Amino acid sequence: MNRESQLNSEQASNNKLQSRKGWKLLAIALGACVILSACGNDNSITSEEGEKQSAEQTSNTNKEGESTSTEQNSGSEASAMVTPDNFVDTLMKGSKEEIYRQFSPQMKEAITFEQFQTTADEFLEGVTSLDQVFAAEMNNLTEFAWKDQTGTKGIQAYFTEANQIDGMLTKPLESHEDTDQKFTKTEFHFPLKGEWYVFWGGNDVMSNYHYEHETQRYALDIVRTKESFSFNGDAKVNASYYAFGEPLYAAADGTVVEIKNDIPDNTPGVMNPEEPAGNYVIIDHGQDEYSITAHIKKGSVAVKKGDKVKQGDLIGELGNSGNSSEAHLHFQVSDGPDLFTARSINIRWADQSQQLTRGNTIQALPES
């Protein structure tokens, strides 16, 4: 999260092509989709590089995409259908026109075929193989991710149920082994109860977009899902999201050092970059370790500055405040209380039997 971040759904429509360290963004979730939670760490990171799609717009895109994709791939073109299974072979050895043909209308508005072909060719320089490392479905879109043989290049693509391609991006992959191996001295418990889905989490940018930023490297974004959906009902209503209003608990003993409790919850799909963290609770756990729980529901913070808390004490309710497009938890531990300058620390969890990495469903605190 950054005070200067201008991560919003408009950028997903207006930003045509970004270049970062010589890498060109193909496109991701342009126009039709907005991001889950915009916690980017500097304003050179756009929503296209950051996060995934809101349920409502993804759902609508899929409905439109089914007919479009069916039309595009009828008759003689049906045999040329690009699917997740043949995407890599088509990209590396086949016709890039076949891939571009299945781009959603919003993708085609954002990038011409010539731009796509040039960018794809640049990405593929030196690439001899791409291995799938991730596949997960949510809200009618399935994301697939691949890494090259060196582990230094990655590509992600989003497919609708009708195999329309609704997003794509390339990323340079860098590791930070020095900090990956340094864990908190404090042992933390997951700050929610029940079953939860790790949307962003892990030690690379393919699984955790926070990773390239020192201030958020080991942050987690967590949602609640049922049958691969994060909501049920009207996607413009916060109460439709399974995560909204769920109780939040202190992850370890400590002293509350900062809170915010008056930021309104967003209408899903509309974000608040002026207050990126939204409502939050920051707890000092000693030994220069501070947990930061963000995007809390307005008015639900149950503690005040100076309170002593025990692990498991109620601290608020999960919400959709700040630079967030749907209800979710942003949780991290840092070496200072300032969200924008302190360095993120890899978290030592009390339960080490579960992997808090992207795409995993985890069992949190037992529900009473």
Question: Structure tokens of 197?
Answer: 């889905």
Q: What is the pLDDT of residue 350?
A: 94
Give 305-339 as a DSSP string: TT-EE-TT-EEEEB--BSSBSS--EEEEEESSS-T
Question: Structure tokens of 23?
Answer: 């890498």
First CA to last CA distance, the chain: 34
Q: What is the pLDDT of residue 13?
A: 28
Closest CA to 300 of 318, 283, 323, 277: 318
Q: What is the mean pLDDT of each run of 10 residues along the chain (368 residues)?
A: 31 29 29 34 29 37 40 48 94 93 92 93 95 89 93 93 91 92 97 95 91 95 95 96 98 98 96 95 98 98 98 98 95 96 97 91 86
Residue 315 CB partners (closer than 8 Å, separation 6+): 191, 248, 249, 250, 256, 281, 283, 293, 301, 302, 303, 309
Whole-model pTM: value is 0.79
The label of the residue with tokens 């949602």 reads: 223
Question: Which 3 state secondary structure label does DSSP give 356?
Answer: coil
Query: For residues 237 and 223, what is the distance between their CA atoms, to the nearest angstrom?
Result: 16
Q: What is the pLDDT of residue 195?
A: 95
Question: Which 3 state secondary structure label does DSSP give 344?
Answer: strand
